[in-house]
Amino acid sequence: MELQRKATLYIGTYTKKEAHVDGRGEGIYVYELDLLSGALTYVSTTPDTINPSFLAVDSSGRHLYAVNEHYEDLGPHGTVTAFVIDPTTWGLTRLNVQSSHGLAPCYISLDGTGRYALVANYLTGNVCVLPVREDGSLAPATHVVQHDGGGRRADQDGPHAHCILTSRGNRHVLAVDKGADKIMVYRLDTERGMLLASSHPWLKLRPGTGPRHITFHPSGRFLYCINELDSTIAVLGYDAEPGTLEELQRVPTLPPEAKGPNSGADIRITPSGRFVYGSNRGHNSIVIYAVDEVTGKLSYVGHEPSLGACPRGCAIDPTGTFLLVANQDTSSISTFRIDQETGRLAATGHTAQVPTPVCVQVLLRDG
Supply the CATH number for residue 347's domain.
Answer: 2.130.10.10
Residues of the chain with pLDDT under 70: 1-4, 151-154, 367
Contact present, 343 and 301 (Cβ < 8 Å)? yes
**What is the per-residue pLDDT for 324?**
98
Q: How many domains, in total, are found in the chain?
A: 1
Whether residue 247 lies inside any domain: the answer is yes
Q: Which domain holds residue 225?
A: 6-365
Contacts 24+ apart (CB under 8 A), 173-177: 173/111, 173/118, 174/214, 174/223, 174/245, 175/120, 175/127, 175/145, 175/147, 176/120, 176/211, 176/212, 176/213, 176/214, 176/225, 177/125, 177/147, 177/149, 177/211
Residues with Cβ within 8 Å of residue 146, at least 6 apart in sequence: 124, 125, 126, 159
Whether residue 60 lies inside any domain: the answer is yes
pLDDT in tens, 204-243: 999 999 999 999 999 999 999 999 999 999 999 999 999 9
Whether residue 62 lies inside any domain: the answer is yes
Looking at residue 97, the DSSP 8-state letter turns out to be E
**What is the per-residue pLDDT for 1?**
35
Asked whether the whole model's pTM tops 0.75, one would answer yes
pLDDT in tens, 2-60: 455 789 999 999 999 999 999 999 999 999 999 999 999 999 999 999 999 999 999 99
Task: Give the mean pLDDT of the chain.
Answer: 95
Whether residue 10 lies inside any domain: the answer is yes
Q: Which CA distances in Å does 249 have to 123, 183, 225, 287, 292?
A: 29, 16, 11, 16, 12
Could you give the percent of the chain with pLDDT greater than 90?
92
**What is the per-residue pLDDT for 4?**
59
Torsion of CA 207, 204, 220, 165, to 10 degrees: -90
Whether residue 156 lies inside any domain: the answer is yes
Largest distance between two CA atoms of the chain: 60
**What is the per-residue pLDDT for 252?**
98
Whether residue 48 lies inside any domain: the answer is yes
Whether residue 1 lies inside any domain: the answer is no
**What is the per-residue pLDDT for 152?**
60
Whether residue 237 lies inside any domain: the answer is yes
